[in-house]
Structure 1
Amino acid sequence: MKRLNHNHHLSLYFIVIIAIFSGIMAYVRLQNSSQLRHNFYRQWYKDYVVKVNQQESFIDTTPKTETRTALSEGQGYGMYIAVLSAKRKWSKKEYFDQLNNFYLKHRETINKDKTALMSWRAVENNGHWTINKNSATDGDLFIAQALLLASKQWHDDKYQKEAHAILQDILRYEYNPDTETLTVGDWADSKSKYYNLMRTSDVMPEFFDNFYQETGDKRWLVIKNTMLKRLNQLSHQNKTGLVPDFAWVSKNDAQPVKPKTISTENDGYYSANACRVPMMLAGCNDRSAQNTLKRMLKFFSKQNTITAGYTLKGKPLNKYQSASFSAPIFYAVSFNRNEGYDDLFMSQQYIFTRHLPQNNYYDAALTTMVRC
């Protein structure tokens, strides 16, 4: 009987030791993960955030070159990352304000009316700035979301007012009421042949929900439901479930564009714009969004290596890997663990074993964003 008690106590001892060891290891992993994330943010800030003066800063989308280029897309990412990092106490309100002030200074004027949309590109060369007119919807959407998050983070009504202003102008200048979808920018108006063009990565259901809850404007719910429906139609046109960078949309349908409709041979493929779609759908519980996302993840889970882009039938466009494709997939899978895609969760973590690229703002921004 004494021998039995001794064995029993010995077993309990080992169980306690194992539990303590497991707890320590879990804590270490958590700390390492948190430190890794912080390091990514610090490296991104060091390499890509450029101060104009004490009041303004911008995201340099062409580092290591003679000219410096600020894009509304990059500024939106920067402001968004600044708020996410502030929640983790890595960043300060001051850093967000500097990025925000640059956005405010570079707002678009349309027919002599000052709007809240950001001019899509500003190029600096030897201290001289050249501003390219027209807006880009993806940049404006990220700026709006960042401002709303900032208003909650720092309880500042100023950000809320600015968010309302840009949201109103997105609906005024970047919305097609005929198709009930967002256009690609203010330049794609009713007089343009691109009025019915949709950028698939502009389907941002979580943002749209937030915009509706903030403003009460039901058009945001219409936009969300319609654009998710068009995206799902595109996904079901191929066994892969992949969607193109751009599509023509009508009241009831969507079709991929032809090559070079906008800029490149890959306009109608899963390429540099559509790569963001998994990230934008990740946190949305809408049935249509989840169906589209899981069709795509199923395709990716069957690939030996995720490469930088695919035709809609699944043929790789390149032989190399790219963080701008892998980061959104990793992020999407993190919302869908234990659903058959965990191999992707493991394989796409390779992007976090490398240093952030110093000359590829897009890869760096998306990697930092999903780790904040």
Structure 2
Amino acid sequence: MNRRDLLASLSATGLFGALSLPAAGLAATSSTSLEAGLFDVWEAWRDANMDATGRVIDRLQKTSSHSEGQAYGMLLAAMIGDRATFERLDAWTRLNLAIRQDALMAWRWLPDAPVRVPDLNNASDGDLFRAWALLRAARRFDAPEYRTAAEAIVLDLVRSCIVHRPGADPLLLPAARGFETEAGVLYNPCYAMPLAMQELAAEFNQPVLAAAARGAVELARQLALDGVVPDWVEVTPQALGPAQGFSFDAGYEAMRVPLYLIWSGLGDHPAVLRFAEAQSRVPPGLAATRLSRGSGEALTTSAEPGYRAIAALATCAASQEIGSRIPPFSPSAPYYPATLQLFALIAQAEALPTCVPL
């Protein structure tokens, strides 16, 4: 079972010290260079995955739209400096997904369903990335109203989606409801983006969100002691173990963990090293899209450039070599791998400049 299936069924450390916020001057320089270097790739992504109204379409998921896709698109538009596209994405999102009583979004919109939003539960990664996108847009476009919107989301994320743990840092739950068990919580490591959480925490004086970022980094370290970080895990006071009914392998969701850690300045994190070692065993021209939790054996592979981009970035981070094998962007790639490739290119530019694609 994956995150989307579960949400539909619900229907109702010292290591983190290496992470620091970008200086304002660095962020401005980075934005300028990103716009110059990635605008053509961004235009190709936009034309392939977004309609004129600002809806990001996931064609492999019944042409649905979801909070994750809208938030990802908004972040990309803000970082590239495409204000017109950002405004369309934001308007569609507010009209169709930001319909809860709080500032969070419903997680999915179905174009052909009698009720297009059958479930008002949220997905915290979508909300996190939307808040980050709005904050970046507020700075990039000198639009304080976006900062106000970002703050409201952060406050509701902290109120509804943070679980506190005795003797440990808190964690970001996948949604406001449905992920607590009798023994503990169901946790998806890829929902936490440390850089986004730390940046938002600093901007809006929310230390609990910064603590949840530390908790995510530390939990990923603990999981990496025994293998690649899995898609899902049950977290109890006593142990980390398989979540019943969920993937305990490292699949399409978990591949975002090394990407986000690298982007957050943690390229030497054990989870990145585990992932890179496992990917190094895959034949050239492919990337593992599902890895065995214990052995790191590739259970499925893909030639999609987006998945290969993450594998190449992690391999470069682990080897500390000059240059990487991040492949050229493919405009025909589906929404998810195409988005991951754009993120990998941004992470490389911001966090690993020596891993420039060769």
* TM-score, scaled to structure 1: 0.74
Amino acid at match of 1:277: V
Matching residue of 2:105: 118
Give me the whole-angstrom Cα distance separating, in 1, the residues matched to 2:114 and 2:124. 28
Give me the whole-angstrom Cα distance separating, in 2, the residues matched to 1:43 and 1:314. 34
Counterpart contact for 1:256–1:268, Cα < 8 Å: yes
What CA RMSD, in Å, does the superposition of the two structures yield over aligned residues?
2.9
Matching residue of 1:42: 43
Matching residue of 1:141: 128
The verdict on how the C-alpha distance between 1:219 and 1:143 changes in structure 2, with shifts beyond 3 A counting, is same
CA deviation after TM superposition for structure 1 residue 329, in Å:
3.1
CA deviation after TM superposition for structure 1 residue 301, in Å:
3.2
Counterpart contact for 1:333–1:344, Cα < 8 Å: no
Which of 205, 218, 225 does residue 216 from structure 1 map onto?
A: 205
The verdict on how the C-alpha distance between 1:193 and 1:325 changes in structure 2, with shifts beyond 3 A counting, is farther
Q: Deviations over 1:136-181 (max 9, x none)?
A: 1111111111111111101211111111111111111111123711
1:97 aligns with 2:80: no
The verdict on how the C-alpha distance between 1:341 and 1:120 changes in structure 2, with shifts beyond 3 A counting, is same
The verdict on how the C-alpha distance between 1:159 and 1:149 changes in structure 2, with shifts beyond 3 A counting, is same
Counterpart contact for 2:128–2:197, Cα < 8 Å: no
The verdict on how the C-alpha distance between 1:129 and 1:307 changes in structure 2, with shifts beyond 3 A counting, is same
CA deviation after TM superposition for structure 1 residue 221, in Å:
2.2
Matching residue of 2:260: 280
CA deviation after TM superposition for structure 1 residue 116, in Å:
1.0
Counterpart contact for 2:305–2:330, Cα < 8 Å: no
Matching residue of 2:291: 310
Which of 51, 56, 59 does residue 59 from structure 1 map onto?
A: 56
Matching residue of 2:72: 77
Give me the whole-angstrom Cα distance separating, in 2, the residues matched to 1:162 and 1:116. 8
Amino acid at match of 1:186: A
Give me the whole-angstrom Cα distance separating, in 1, the residues matched to 2:225 and 2:113. 50
Secondary structure of residue in 2 paired with 1:124: coil
* TM-score, scaled to structure 2: 0.76
Secondary structure of residue in 2 paired with 1:83: helix
CA deviation after TM superposition for structure 1 residue 230, in Å:
1.2
Amino acid at match of 1:228: V
Matching residue of 2:230: 244
Percent identity (aligned): 20
Query: 5 Å matches for 1:343-358?
Result: 345-346=324-325, 349-350=326-327, 352=328, 355-358=330-333
Equivalences, count: 306
Matching residue of 1:153: 140
CA deviation after TM superposition for structure 1 residue 128, in Å:
7.5
Matching residue of 2:302: 320
Give me the whole-angstrom Cα distance separating, in 2, the residues matched to 1:39 and 1:141. 26
The verdict on how the C-alpha distance between 1:332 and 1:116 changes in structure 2, with shifts beyond 3 A counting, is farther
CA deviation after TM superposition for structure 1 residue 223, in Å:
0.6
CA deviation after TM superposition for structure 1 residue 245, in Å:
0.4
Matching residue of 1:168: 155
The verdict on how the C-alpha distance between 1:307 and 1:222 changes in structure 2, with shifts beyond 3 A counting, is same
Give me the whole-angstrom Cα distance separating, in 2, the residues matched to 1:149 and 1:159. 9
Amino acid at match of 1:99: L
The verdict on how the C-alpha distance between 1:318 and 1:68 changes in structure 2, with shifts beyond 3 A counting, is closer
CA deviation after TM superposition for structure 1 residue 328, in Å:
2.5
Q: Deviations over 1:319-343 (max 9, x none)?
A: 4333443223334456x3xx62549
Matching residue of 2:10: none
- Identify which range, 73-82 or 308-317, moves more after superposition: 308-317
Amino acid at match of 1:133: L
Rg (Cα) greater in structure: 1
Amino acid at match of 2:235: V
Amino acid at match of 1:357: S
